[in-house]
Homo-oligomer: A and B are copies of this chain.
Amino acid sequence: MSPTHTGVTAAPAGLDPCGRADHPDCGIRDVLDRVGDKWSVLVIVELAAGPRRFRQLQRAIDGISQRMLTLTVRRLERDGLVVRTVYPTVPAQVDYRLTETGTSLTHLVKALADWSLAHSETIAEARRAYDDEHPGNEIR
Query: A residues touching B (Cβ–Cβ < 8 Å)?
Result: 7-11, 15-33, 35-38, 41-42, 45-46, 48-49, 59-63, 71, 74-75, 77-81, 101, 104-108, 110-117, 119-120, 122-127, 129-131, 139-140
Contacts and interface: CB of A to CB of B under 8 A. Distances in A.
B32 A36 contact: yes
Contacts of A78: 126-127, 130-131, 139
Nearest to A23: B45
What copy number does this chain have within its complex? Answer: 2
B31 A115 contact: yes
A80 to B, nearest CB: 3
Contacts of A107: 8, 10-11
Given A28-B116, A36-B36, 5 more contacts: A9-B114, A11-B110, A19-B38, A23-B45, A27-B116
A131 B122 CA distance: 43
Contacts of A111: 7-9, 11, 108, 111
Given A27-B120, A28-B113, A35-B112, A16 B63 contact: yes
Given A15-B106, A32-B41, A74-B139, A123 B20 contact: no
